[in-house]
Amino acid sequence: MKKSTLFVILILLSPILLSGCISIEIEAGIDEHFSSFLTYHIELDVRELDERYHNTIGRALNEIGWSYQEEHQFVVSFSTDSSPYVLTMTRRIENNSFEQAYNSLEALLTDENITPFMTVDMAFERSERQSRYIFEAMTDIPQIMRLSNMEELTQGLQQQLEEAVATGEGSVTVTLPVSELASSSHQTSIQNNHVVMTAPLGFTSRTIMELSGMVNLLEDGAIGGLLGEIINEQYTLRNNIVFICAAIFTMLLLILLIIVLVRKKKARRFKGVH
């Protein structure tokens, strides 16, 4: 097994992890434009550390960012001007449909070079106007460390790393389109036909995330709300069209009637002159 992204981060930043000043936030999902994405956001508070460590930490962050920019096409932003030090890395894939975006997201999250997850299980079922999906993923930092050739590290670094993971903090957020939410393993929020689920990132235990839902598609391929709402909107649209057509037909009848009356009046005047 190759060393995962989380393992590389932990190895390079293990000195500061001991101070309990690191936050790792991971975001993955599909946005409103059908772009699939994976983001790592790392913040390091160095105010309590000896200044001798600052350059070392900055170089470690720079090494992580450079590696994922050059080798894995991430867009990277990096700041060490003041505390906290911040590194943000995002890989984004543009798509034309929800189905294509879901497949792209699966490709991102099953790439062992960049994924934060130990296992990923994603299923997708598509019909003409509705899609169903199941998302299941697990982070397991202790298992990652066991499988990442820790024995290659010096005994001191192994001990330092084991102590370091006990102080780490973070979260994993998954964002997916949804019209109707079926189930979720953690608390969610829904806005603009997207569900957002956030779980704490476990450094000493597994983090298991599960999410399933349905996406109702409008005629133009855009994501709609609840099926009942879409049907009501269609009925409303149909009734509006019928009303407009009836109004136009009535106006045409009135115009035709006016034309007929005007012609008859002109005809009577013409007869009266002769």
CA angle 106, 74, 37 (to 5 degrees): 35
Q: Could you say which DSSP state residue 1 is in?
A: -
Q: pTM of the entire structure?
A: 0.75
pLDDT-above-90 percentage for the chain: 34
Q: For residues 93 and 29, what is the distance between their CA atoms, to the nearest angstrom?
A: 11
- As given in the structure block, the two tokens for residue 249 are 């037909």
Q: Is 104 a residue whose pLDDT tops 60? A: yes
Confidence of residue 162 (pLDDT cuts 50, 70, 90): low
Q: Is the peptide bond before 116 cis (omega within 30 degrees of 0)?
A: no
**Could you tell me the two tokens for 115?**
């994924």
User: Across all residues in the chain, what is the average pLDDT?
Assistant: 79
Q: Which residues contact 114 (CB under 8 A, 6 or more apart)?
A: 5, 38, 68, 72, 74, 91, 108
Distance CA 64, CA 5 (A): 9
